[in-house]
Amino acid sequence: MAPSDPVIILGAGVTALTLAHQLLFPPSAPPNTTQTHHRPILILASTIPTSPHSTIPPSYASLWAGAHYRPIPASTPQLAFERELALRTHASMLQLASTYPETVSGIARIPAEEYLETDPDAATLALRTGDVYAGPGDDFHVLTADDLATLNAASSPRAEPVRWGCTYNTYCVNPALYLPFLIQRIQARGARIVQAHVDSFAHAVELARGLGFLPSHPGEGREAAAAAAGGGAPTIVDATGTGLLPDPVCRVIRGQTVLVKQQFPKTVTRQCRDGSWSFLIPRPGGGGTIVGGTKEIGDHEALPRRKTREGLLGRARAWFLGEFVGRDGELDVVGDIVGFRPWREGGVRLEAELTEVVMVKDVSSSSSSSDSSQKGQGVADTETVRVVYGYGLGGRGYELSWGVAERLVELVDGRASGGQEYKRAIKARL
Ligand SMILES: Cc1cc2nc3c(=O)[nH]c(=O)nc-3n(C[C@H](O)[C@H](O)[C@H](O)COP(=O)(O)OP(=O)(O)OC[C@H]3O[C@@H](n4cnc5c(N)ncnc54)[C@H](O)[C@@H]3O)c2cc1C
């Protein structure tokens, strides 16, 4: 595909917007380039983050994320692949954070702490102070036995002891600032964003034609033959979270959190003995702190559960009392959050294919049609489109976003075909 060919992106979550940014600000372009012609990009999405937040459903995961970066050691080939994506993303996020104030980009470099009440796995146990954990220069420290003893002695006697812990530097993202920041940048380079629910890839092509983004008639003769062979066929990227077409291995993982006004200076994660998680994720730019959170597979409850909220706040009080909530235990609650992580069991889908779509043409106004029985009816015609899939990021959509966008650009440009090598499971993560 030529770098100037148009691309239709379905979805306006972090995956879609990062891809659009990567296409419009190619890293190979010299800095301060004066290029005025950019690749035409049309984004079609049912939900866009610049709508009033009260109208944005839990299925638009990107607005409801924490969002912090908590690394996972590369203990399997799949996790090694994710680590590559995470390290690429770490570099891009830090680059943005050093270029723009956090009140603009919504990104900030922030200290992190992790605590495990469970026994660490072998890969975690193998980590040593000075290792690269989140990325180069992260000042990674494993807590010593003395550190753990001091920590546990200071906790409530009823609390489960912490068995392993670490500190390092990471970044946090405030989606309410970051998503509009990406939108503003891609729109400045000509990306069009249209709010529309899309039913099928044929529908996407139809909408793009109606908007004048694609020519109203597909090419004929040699052009049509080339399109059928994949050259010149419209490219559609499916970044709809769980996939446009039914995907039997996609499910949502419900996450409920609470946004509080207090601005915590670091992100803390505690993996509890009973399998639950407790965490604080500050939202840069004065956005308060997320107190979380749940991971409920296949749970589509859109409303917050009061009992869950009380549990989350209760644990934050128990573990972070004094340091965060103040001696009086007061938390200034802004509101409950419910989001559905778009999870694809067995792997994020990163691949490309040519597919035939059925377009229905209205022939009622066609002067070339001599068959009066067709007047006012539609006739079916097939067309070839290139579909690039980029969905199923589960709980890691932010921390893998720039790495994923790089892979998607390769697929869009036809520099990679995707397939098995990119099909990796992205675990449910907060
Ligand atoms: C509580 C919670 C905490 C999280 N914390 C973190 C974290 O700390 N770090 C991290 O990295 N990740 C975190 N995540 C995960 C992260 O939010 C997701 O992985 C990420 O947002 C997925 O982005 P996406 O763009 O792929 O999908 P989405 O954000 O879900 O966007 C999908 C887009 O597709 C559109 N769409 C869907 N169907 C159609 C259709 N038929 N027609 C047109 N448009 C359509 C939607 O309207 C939307 O614009 C968290 C998620 C939750 C819920």
Whether 1 has a pLDDT exceeding 80, the answer reads no
Both 279 and 313 in a single domain? yes
The pLDDT of residue 421 = 40
CA of 12 to the centre of ligand 1 (A): 9
**70, part of any domain:** no
Both 98 and 182 in a single domain? no
- 230-285 per-position pLDDT tens digit: 556 899 999 999 999 999 999 999 999 999 999 999 999 999 999 999 999 999 99
Sheet holding 7-10, edge to edge: 192-195, 41-45, 7-10, 235-238, 378-391, 349-362
**Mean per-residue pLDDT for 127-138?**
97
**138, part of any domain:** yes
pLDDT band of 326, cuts 50, 70, 90: low
Point out the ligand 1 atom lying closest to the alpha carbon of residue 49: 49
Ligand 1 close to Cβ of residue 105 (< 6 A): no
Both 331 and 351 in a single domain? no
Cα 352 to its chain centre, rounded Å, is: 19
Point out the ligand 1 atom lying closest to the alpha carbon of residue 255: 1
Question: Of 312, 171, 175, nearest to 255 (Cα)?
Answer: 312
CA of 391 to the centre of ligand 1 (A): 9
* Distance (Å, whole) CA 210 – CA 216: 7
Pairwise pLDDT comparison (361 vs 170), residue with the higher score: 170
Both 138 and 257 in a single domain? yes
Which structural domain range is residue 232 located in? 7-64+177-246+346-422
**Mean per-residue pLDDT for 157-175?**
94
Ligand 1 close to Cβ of residue 171 (< 6 A): no
Task: Give the rounded percent of residues in the chain with a pLDDT score beyond 90.
Answer: 72
pLDDT band of 346, cuts 50, 70, 90: confident
Domain boundary among 340, 375, 395: 340
Whether 122 has a pLDDT exceeding 80, the answer reads yes
- 397-418 per-position pLDDT tens digit: 999 999 999 999 999 998 876 5
**1, part of any domain:** no
Specify the residue with its C-alpha closest to ligand 1, atom 31. 13
CA of 341 to the centre of ligand 1 (A): 6
The pLDDT of residue 27 = 84
Q: Which of 9, 170, 206, 398 to mutate to test the pocket of ligand 1 (most atoms within 8 A of CB)?
A: 398
CATH number of the domain that residue 90 is part of: 3.30.9.10
Domain boundary among 314, 340, 366: 340
Both 163 and 255 in a single domain? yes
Cα 195 to its chain centre, rounded Å, is: 19
Specify the residue with its C-alpha closest to ligand 1, atom 27. 241
Both 97 and 191 in a single domain? no
Point out the ligand 1 atom lying closest to the alpha carbon of residue 67: 8
- 14-43 per-position pLDDT tens digit: 999 999 999 999 887 655 556 667 899 999
Across the chain, mean pLDDT equals 88
**318, part of any domain:** yes
Ligand 1 close to Cβ of residue 255 (< 6 A): yes
- For the four alpha carbons of 221, 226, 232 and 237, in that order, the dihedral sign comes to positive
CATH number of the domain that residue 390 is part of: 3.40.50.720
The pLDDT of residue 429 = 44
Specify the residue with its C-alpha closest to ligand 1, atom 15. 395
The pLDDT of residue 316 = 86
Both 163 and 256 in a single domain? yes
The pLDDT of residue 227 = 54
Both 253 and 330 in a single domain? yes
The pLDDT of residue 422 = 38
| Continuous H helices in 260-400 | 306-320
The pLDDT of residue 369 = 40
**428, part of any domain:** no
Whether 151 has a pLDDT exceeding 80, the answer reads yes
Ligand 1 close to Cβ of residue 241 (< 6 A): yes
Ligand 1 close to Cβ of residue 60 (< 6 A): yes
**72, part of any domain:** no
pLDDT band of 207, cuts 50, 70, 90: very high
Pairwise pLDDT comparison (381 vs 164), residue with the higher score: 164
Both 158 and 263 in a single domain? yes
Both 235 and 293 in a single domain? no
Whether 367 has a pLDDT exceeding 70, the answer reads no
Whether 380 has a pLDDT exceeding 70, the answer reads yes
Both 188 and 220 in a single domain? yes
**69, part of any domain:** no
The pLDDT of residue 428 = 40
* Distance (Å, whole) CA 113 – CA 279: 10
Both 16 and 136 in a single domain? no
Q: How many domains does the chain have?
A: 2
Mean pLDDT check: name the lowest of 178-182, 369-373, 375-379, 385-389: 369-373
pLDDT band of 189, cuts 50, 70, 90: very high
**Mean per-residue pLDDT for 358-379?**
57
Pairwise pLDDT comparison (156 vs 23), residue with the higher score: 23
Model-level pTM? 0.92
**262, part of any domain:** yes
CA of 396 to the centre of ligand 1 (A): 10
Q: Which of 17, 62, 404 to mutate to test the pocket of ligand 1 (most atoms within 8 A of CB)?
A: 62
Phi/psi of residue 355, each to 5°?
-140, 150
Whether 123 has a pLDDT exceeding 50, the answer reads yes
Ligand 1 close to Cβ of residue 61 (< 6 A): yes
Ligand 1 close to Cβ of residue 15 (< 6 A): yes
Q: Which of 21, 46, 297 to mutate to test the pocket of ligand 1 (most atoms within 8 A of CB)?
A: 46
Within 13 Å and on the Cβ side, how many CA atoms surround 398? Answer: 26
